[in-house]
Amino acid sequence: MIFNKNAEISAIGAYLPEEKLTNDDLSKIVETDDEWIYSRTGIKERRISKKTEFSSDMAIKAVQNLLDNNSVSVDDVDMIMVSTITQDYYTPSVAALVQSYFNIPNTGSLDFNAACSGYVYGMQMAFSLIASGQYKKILLITADTLSKIVDYKDRATCVLFGDAATATIIQRKEGLNDQVYSFSGTNGTIGKELFCSNISEYINGEEIKSKHVLNQNGRALYVYVTRDISEMVLDFFKQNSIDQDSINWFVPHSANARMITKLCEHIGIPDEKSLLSIRLCGNTSSNSIPLALWLAMKEGKIKRGDKMFLLGFGGGFSYAGLIFNF
């Protein structure tokens, strides 16, 4: 899909819990070591939330970080959207808790679950809602306390996931009329390869043995992303006459550094153009892409007008891509 946007990212903030869980720390919990983890995932450490710290707490701290470090306000935000799979409650939403804390007077609020694709879906919705004229300023938050749903006896998953939150302001800009390229999709038949149970004790007709914790078939997902997702991306480029060389920065979901290197190779984008957050944060679900943007902005890498390609993929199995000028 191609559409025109009249909005831009004004600012990004983030919050990372203080506690670090290093590879050496994990070697004392499960049979593993730093070399094994880093060579297979590209992860050195991940952040872990306190027992009394939940997604809404981290979301609030990410918004506060945004306010403390940018000349922006949230008082006039007219929609709060939160991407999370670890909301504090079934209801109220994390978005409603953020609204209450900052006392934002006239705003809608909602949580949504697209797992690791959440930020890209959120950006697609934000650009579209503002283009429709219904909203002018959207606060897009990602927040997950994945450590609270990780089985630290399962080496296949406990080495991967970390906690984080981010906050992004997307707002209307008069006179802007930029073209956006967007796609999204789902393959629910492989949802069983990455899931966390809730009420049901079955998935795809099979009984769930490890309940209420993250379950992942890393090998199956690696193959699907590097083969099927890469082919979808190449088809998208071809259909829309997009030259890979025109892309300044590729920002994929930071699931696995080795996977991203292979993905870059398949879709024809140099690995050095990819922005990741995995080394010191681990896999943070929908936080990984905005974290990578936040870190790159702090380093002065991203400039206004740079062509960005965001690519999310993960639980569901959902995927989404977005190409736009920053």
- Kindly report the length of the chain: 326
Q: Are strands 164-172 and 7-15 parallel, antiparallel or unpaired?
A: antiparallel
- Rounded Cα distance, 312 and 289, in Å: 8
Residue 186: CA atoms inside 13 Å, Cβ hemisphere, count?
Answer: 11
Is 106 an annotated catalytic residue?
no
- Backbone φ and ψ for 124, nearest 5 degrees, come out as -60, -45
Element (H, E) at 127: helix 118-131
Among all chains, which residue has been given the structure tokens 């919050």? 15
Is 116 an annotated catalytic residue?
yes
Candidate list 116, 158, 196, 264, residue with the active-site label: 116
Tokens representing 8 are 């831009």
Distances, alpha carbon 183 to alpha carbons 119, 229, 318, 319, in Å: 13, 12, 11, 8
94 and 196 Cβ atoms separated by less than 8 Å: no
In one-letter notation, the amino acid at residue 76 is D
Candidate list 253, 264, 281, 287, residue with the active-site label: 253
Is 177 an annotated catalytic residue?
no
Distances, alpha carbon 213 to alpha carbons 41, 83, 150, 273, 285, in Å: 20, 19, 5, 34, 14
Coil, strand or helix: which one is 50?
coil
Tokens representing 68 are 């403390």
Among all chains, which residue has been given the structure tokens 């004004």? 10
Candidate list 23, 215, 256, 283, residue with the active-site label: 283
- Which residues form the catalytic set? 116, 253, 283
